[in-house]
Structure 1
């Protein structure tokens, strides 16, 4: 049985809000930290206005509400993940929270030194250096985001052959999994663990078939998010899209891509077809 009773969410976005809603439904004490006082929190969730870049201010809030777990779902795009999240984890350390969940929620990051994944890996190293108990979730690509990998002509962008398996997990499954384990598992099963989950698994070539289209073999992606998508597509081709990927040794690791799924027994994970009604 979980010993965690009070939770603080930082980042009320696509993952943060359903996590907050789910925790509140389990009768947990949930606060949503926000710089804006106009944001409307989910039912059962208390909005607390605080400057999340001010570690001292966040520390005071965490202590006042006797928070056990801090969950960051901050989305900083391709920016400096370590810089943006640093004040929050510093506050978690000062407030002696029992568990910190960094904003990973994507492909495995350990061993990466550049780009978004490198930024997340750098921040994970900082959390470890503080000695704050952490829980990291690797879920691969958000299934809902698959259309973003299409070219303007409707084809699936591919850099390379497109035959390397990628992990996909839907937002409701990610949020539900996190709520489930935080409210049912003992701290010893979560502290300083990396959990790898997977709702579905497919190559980009297979994705094209599912969407009844073809692939568009390219060298790079142009436009506003071109650098980011180029970086991710190259990582997918190398194997990094699988939640079981070991970047250091350049192979699938000893833990399977869906090794964490067993912690939510009886759950039916959503497929790509179900999410996109294919």
Structure 2
């Protein structure tokens, strides 16, 4: 049984707000840390909001102390993930018992470059500071996949690469529910410095044509404002890196507790949503 009773969430975006709601439903204390300039968020009754500058470690630590925070969850968006660096000092000053870094995507261990490399370095900085952490690998968000492949824009699927390698796909609701479930039911020894590999569905990009009942087009790169980001993600998918069981060091799928979806067993009886469920296909 978990001994954690008070949770602070940093960031209230696509995954942050659902996690706040899922934790609040577990009858634990929840506080949202929000930047002073951020617009107000609608949060469940009982959830407190503290406006604080993330870069001010002492100010953030004071919030942690005031609310007797046990666990910090960073859900800072991927594109701003470097903003969580100052939270290491804040967690140390605030005597935080467990830190959940902003992962919620592809496995990051072993990556050296880009956003994935930055996330792995952040986890290493927590380890160096002696702060226990738990990492959640979820693969692609099921809700966002249609936009990545272009289906939500022009009704067909556009892929960079061969599109043959399977990737892990998990709905945001399942991610939030799982995170809240394990943080409030598992013991500290089952959480500290562990990795949880989730998977709601598993498909290759080529298989999505049949699922969405449309054509699949292969291109060298994606055009448009976010085309560079989409192209980069698809190239990563083509390497196998988007499977939650991916081992970047050995360039292979993990086995046993390191396999894609191996963490699903911690939520016994739960029915995980598939892409078909999420998109009503």
**Shorter-chain TM band:** over 0.9
1:111 aligns with 2:107: no
| Structure 1 residues 132-143: aligned runs within 5 Å | 132-143=131-142
Question: Hey, what does 2:254 align to over in structure 1?
Answer: 253
**Residues 55-110 of structure 1, C-alpha deviation per residue, up to 9 Å, x if partnerless?**
11100000111100000101042x5x2x3101122211111111000010001111
Match of 2:269, SS? coil
Gaps of 5+ in 2: none
Which of residues 73, 78, 89 in structure 2 aligns to 1:71?
A: 73
Distance, in Å, in 2 between the alignment partners of 1:160 and 1:69 is 40
CA distance in 1, matches of 2:154, 2:31: 43
Give the 3-state SS of the residue equivalent to 1:205 in structure 2. Answer: coil
- CA distance in 1 between partners of 2:226 and 2:215 (Å): 22
> Structure 1 segments of 4 or more deviating over 6 A?
none
Pair 1:5-2:5 in alignment? yes
TM-score where L is the length of structure 1: 0.95
User: 1:76-115 to 2 correspondence within 5 Å?
Assistant: 76-77=78-79, 79=80, 81=81, 83-115=82-114
Report the TM-score, using the length of structure 2 for normalisation: 0.94
* Aligned counterpart in structure 1 of residue 63 of structure 2, from 61, 64, 70: 61
**Equivalent position of 1:33 in the other structure:** 33
Counterpart for residue 230 of structure 1: 231
1:119 deviates by: 1.8
Q: Report which stretch shifted further, 139-148 or 18-27.
A: 18-27
Worse-matched range after superposition: 185-194 or 108-117: 108-117
The Cα RMSD (Å) is 1.3
Match of residue 279 from structure 2? 276
Q: Unaligned regions of 5+ residues in structure 1, if any?
A: none
Do structure 1's residue 123 and structure 2's residue 122 form an aligned pair?
yes
**Number of residue pairs aligned between Structure 1 and Structure 2:** 275
Report what 1:148 is aligned to.
147
After superposition, residues 146-185 of structure 1 pair within 5 angstroms as 146-151=145-150, 152-185=153-186
Partner secondary structure for residue 206 of structure 2:
helix
Q: Is the 8 A contact 1:143 1:168 kept in 2?
A: yes
Equivalences for 1:210-229 in 2 at 5 Å?
210-229=211-230
Give the deviation of 1:276 after TM superposition. 0.1
